Structure formats: C-alpha cells, structure tokens
Structure 1
Amino acid sequence: MKVLPEDFVKLFNERHFNILYQASTKDYQSLMSEEEFVTYANDFKNNSGDFELKFHNSIHYKVDRYCFIDDNDTHMITAVFHQNGEIGGIQFDFHEQYETDDDYTKNEYKFPINDEWFVLWGGTNAFLNYHYPYKNQRYAYDLVQSISGHVHNGLEKKLSSYFTYGKDVVAPLKGEVVDVYLHQPDNFIGIPNMEQPMGNAVVLKHENDEYSMVAHLQAGSIVVRVGDTVEQGDLLGFAGNSGASNEPHLHFQVTDGRDLVDSNSLRIRFKDYEKEPVQAETVRGV
C-alpha cells in the first residue's frame, strides 16, 4: 500500500491511521504495533486541530521530509517518504517557538568552513533543526559536504569515504582560544560517543562576550591551543566523527557564555547572508 505525500494530511485529519501505518516501512512498523500507532495517533489528534503542510525538503538521497502543523499552531507531524512511495517514519511533536528567536549575536560571523557545505540541521523550529528544543544549542548548525545528494562515495562504513571527513575547519571570527577538547577517537559509523558529546572541539571567545564552538573534529587534528589568538579563517582542525556523531559532520554554534551546558544559544548573524540559512540549503564560509 502506498500513500502520496499530498494525501497524508487528509488521511490523518480524517483519522485513517491504519492506512498510514500500513503504508510505512517494515523498519518503522518494527518500532510499534499497528494498535499502538493508532492509539497514539488518536490521542495526538484529540489534542490538536487539523493539519496542513508547512515545510518540505530533502536532506538525504531519495528521501523527502514533510512537516505538517495544526491550525492551533501547537502540534507538528514530520513524515518521511522514500522515493518508492513508502513512509519511512512518522514523528509526532509539539510545535513550539521561543522568545529567544529574537536574540541575535552582536557580532557578525562566517561559517567555519572554506568552501560549499550543506546544512543538515539549522533553523528556528524542530523540523528544520533538531537542536531547537534545547536552549544551550537551539540555533546550532550541523554541516556536511554533499555531492549530488550523497554524503559519501558508496562505502558507508568507511570514515574516509565521507566527503566531510578531513575537511578544514576554520575560525568563524577573530577570537581567543579559551577551551580545547582533545583525545577523543573518531567513532565507527553509526556508533556515537554519548559520554563525550562534543568530541574533539574548540571554543573561541569573541568581542561582546560571545563564544563560538566547533565540535566533532577529527582525532589529533586540532592545531590551536588555549591562549592562542586566531584571525577569521585561521585553521582550527579538521572535520571528523568524534563525540555524539553517527557520521562525519561539523557542529557550529554561538552562545552567550563559556559554560556550554548552562549558556544560552544565540541566533547567529552572518556577514554574507541577508536571509538566515536553514536546513537543506548550501552555504559558504570564509
């Protein structure tokens, strides 16, 4: 059974939950029974309004993502569709916006990269940016290198096959190196290190008491030390797969304090972009 993306929202609003479940992949069905899915979907619908499509993009090859938000603006559904027509996943969530969306950095930054990268996660809602619910990384970006929708050359279990792995990571703005996190190995693909979530990382202090961080760097690649002063574009290290990372990517964020756990993430003003880059867009750095 197949369900077209344009029919999904109508079926959900009319509570045809069995049809949606039966149109999903075996992998998704292995997570819950049809009865469990129908019960959860019914409860979710009872507390929400009618849904309509708000966002659509693609961040993986042959996979499309759709975001439906209800007319109360309080609930959100994310549905993933494979090119063969199967539903790869359905996620139910609250649709929240935060007053901190108005809190931009005072400084203007550049992305900490040298060439074109793809925004895997970034934006001001949970569909565009999975960091968004968490105040200390709400406006963070996850970046990867992608060629024709692919992030690797076909050997998905080999780190060096990923286009991101080993690429230069540079200073997004002039600053002082205040923290360097070292000695974390690169993970095997699909096995993140949740005990050391930042992995190998560099924290810079900038004017106006703003702090930027680049994380998940390649083991042994960091070339700066605490106390160094760096100029915008100076090399910090190479992109890797350390810390809470399933596959090579670069995490970049700016906060209002050095303590990255208790600080607040700041929405980043970029020097070269009038419109804030978001998920599924291509960006350039220094």
Structure 2
Amino acid sequence: MTLTGDRPLFFGLVIAHTWFDFGYPILWNLLVLVLAYVLVTVANRWGGGAPDDKQVIRELVEVAAPVADRWSALDSPADRTPSHGIHAYGQTFAIDVIAEPEPGARPGLRALWPLARRATDFPAFGAPILAVADATVVRAHDRQRDHLSRTSWPALLYLMLVEGSVRELFGVHRIFGNHVVLDLGNGTYAAYAHLKRGSLTVREGDRVSAGQQIARCGNSGNSSEPHLHFQLMDSPDPDTARGIPFRWHGIGVPRNREIFEAPAAAASHT
C-alpha cells in the first residue's frame, strides 16, 4: 500500500469519519485522521519502502548536466538508493545539487538563528537550469511561490516532520513545487523540481535542445533551500513513475558533498 496511490481512499475515510457522531466535536475526527496520516507518511519517508516484485531496474542513461559552473551534490544515488529514502515519485535515483560558486558563498545550517533566510541569500537561486538532451516538454508548472529557507534546526525539523507531510496530502505538485518534465525518448523522462516561480522559458509541447535554458533554480515545493532536484524516470507522471539510474557527460554521478564543475559547453553535448 502506498500513501500516494491510496490518497483518494484516505480522503473518503475522512469524509465518512467526520459524517458520524462519535460523541465529541466532529473536528476532532478530522484531526485524528490527519494526525494518523502525518505519522504514517513520516514513517514511510524514513523507512523508504521497498519496490514491489515487478520493479525492473532500467539500464543507466547518460545525459548532459542540468546545470553549469560549480555545484555540489546532496542525497546522491552514488551514496545510497533510494537516494531520498523513498521510491515514491520516481525518486529512487534522484539527486539534489546546490550552487557552490566559491567557498563560503552559500549560507550554512544554523542551530537556532536565523530561523530562515530569503531565497535570494543563496547562490543557487536564479541559476540557469538546462535541458539534458534534445527532448519534448510534457509537464511545465511554475505558479508556486518561492518560500524562505529551512536552514536552522527548528525550521528543518518543521520541514521534515510537519510541512513535508502536509504537502503529501496535496500530491506531487506540492512536493516538487514548480517543475518541468522532459520526454527524452525511449521511455525515459527527466524531471526538474523546486524551480523559480515564473522562470520557465518553455511550455508543454515545446521541443528543446540539449543545453538550452528551460528555467531557473528556485525554492518552491518541499525544499529546505534553493537547489535543483533532478531525476530520470520511466513515466511522465511522477505519481506512477519508477526511477532510472543516470550519469552526466564528463562528470558521472557526484557523491554527497562532492564539488563538481559543469562547463556550459558540456551541457550542449549530444
């Protein structure tokens, strides 16, 4: 059973449970169910959940890098899979990258203060995001706001234990935030998440070339700070997709905290 697939059932139970009188305020019924949903979602996120028996790992696909210049990796599939702790939303081989133009340019995690920072304080915010291959745009959404960072321990715990679970209630749009999905052909799709609001330069149905700018990095969706979440998957719909392993031309798959440089020229490689 997956929370994603059973979301309609969950909401049906909410309606049924709030319809009947159990001798206490009806709102309590809803709160109990929402709390249960949050707890199960958190357990699923930490536990990861194994793929079912029909899971078939696709052959690795090599593409260009989705960014240029100096970046570092987080939650990399080079260190573990599933890289983000879950297989849901096609994230088995997903990677997060953050801009590191020079040492100390990116604000670090603080114990207590400041609780949050503006997105513009981070060098990744507004950085160009590039097509990794010649492709067709099949999903393009950029109407969600870019929120403050979650880069103190209280804010990070809030993101992990509360905000992320609430976003789960509303599906992949609230998890990925502003995002683009490209059809690379041969049953392979590239997803880019947490993009900057209003920054998309493409629409659904557009053809793009490798290295072409398609958006800018943002801090929308379930994001602790401005960064790019990138993954390959076998379907244009993250709700049902399975992850596909990847490597970037001339880079490979950077490990956690590994600094890598992706020249703009590399992104135009075909």
* TM-score of the superposed pair, with normalisation by structure 2: 0.62
**What is the number of residues matched between the two proteins?**
193
2:131 counterpart letter in structure 1: A
SS at match of 2:73: strand
Larger radius of gyration: 1
Map of 2:124 onto structure 1: 164
SS at match of 1:104: coil
Q: Which of the numbers 63, 88, 92 marks the counterpart of 1:109?
A: 63
SS at match of 1:213: strand
Higher strand share: 1
Farther off after superposition, 144-153 or 206-215? 144-153
Q: Do the aligned residues in 2 keep the contact of 1:165 with 1:241 (CA within 8 Å)?
A: yes
Q: Deviations over 1:199-238 (max 9, x none)?
A: 1111100121200011101111111011111001101111
Map of 1:199 onto structure 2: 177
Map of 1:211 onto structure 2: 189
Q: 1:175 to 1:161 in 2, by over 3 A?
A: same
CA distance in 2, matches of 1:261, 1:94: 16
Map of 2:241 onto structure 1: 263
RMSD: 3.1
Q: Once the 2 structures are TM-superposed, how far is the Cα of residue 188 of structure 1 from its aligned partner?
A: 2.0
Q: 1:113 to 1:96 in 2, by over 3 A?
A: same
CA distance in 2, matches of 1:177, 1:161: 30
1:176 aligns with 2:136: yes
Higher helix share: 2
Q: Do the aligned residues in 2 keep the contact of 1:128 with 1:279 (CA within 8 Å)?
A: no
CA distance in 2, matches of 1:209, 1:283: 28
Q: Deviations over 1:83-141 (max 9, x none)?
A: xxxxxxxxx97998999795333x42122001121001212555893245547201001
Map of 1:280 onto structure 2: 257
Q: Once the 2 structures are TM-superposed, how far is the Cα of residue 284 of structure 1 from its aligned partner?
A: 3.3
Q: Do the aligned residues in 1 keep the contact of 2:65 with 2:249 (CA within 8 Å)?
A: no
Q: 1:247 to 1:130 in 2, by over 3 A?
A: same
Map of 1:138 onto structure 2: 92
Map of 1:229 onto structure 2: 207
CA distance in 2, matches of 1:169, 1:260: 20
Q: Do the aligned residues in 1 keep the contact of 2:48 with 2:85 (CA within 8 Å)?
A: no
Q: Do the aligned residues in 2 keep the contact of 1:128 with 1:278 (CA within 8 Å)?
A: no
Farther off after superposition, 212-221 or 261-270? 261-270
Q: Do the aligned residues in 2 keep the contact of 1:131 with 1:139 (CA within 8 Å)?
A: no
1:148 counterpart letter in structure 2: P
Q: Which of the numbers 230, 249, 261 marks the counterpart of 2:227?
A: 249
Q: Which of the numbers 186, 192, 204 marks the counterpart of 2:146?
A: 186
Structure 2: state its 5+ residue gaps: 1-45, 151-158
Q: Do the aligned residues in 2 keep the contact of 1:152 with 1:163 (CA within 8 Å)?
A: no
Q: Do the aligned residues in 2 keep the contact of 1:126 with 1:132 (CA within 8 Å)?
A: no
CA distance in 2, matches of 1:101, 1:125: 20
2:143 counterpart letter in structure 1: H
Q: Do the aligned residues in 2 keep the contact of 1:132 with 1:139 (CA within 8 Å)?
A: no
SS at match of 1:189: coil
- Structure of higher RCO (CA pairs closer than 8 Å, 6+ residues apart): 2
2:215 counterpart letter in structure 1: G
1:240 aligns with 2:240: no
CA distance in 2, matches of 1:108, 1:167: 23
Q: Once the 2 structures are TM-superposed, how far is the Cα of residue 165 of structure 1 from its aligned partner?
A: 0.5
CA distance in 2, matches of 1:234, 1:109: 13
Identity, in percent, stands at 26
Structure 1: state its 5+ residue gaps: 1-91
SS at match of 2:186: helix
Q: Deviations over 1:126-163 (max 9, x none)?
A: 58932455472010010101232552399861211101
Map of 2:107 onto structure 1: 152
Q: 1:256 to 1:95 in 2, by over 3 A?
A: closer
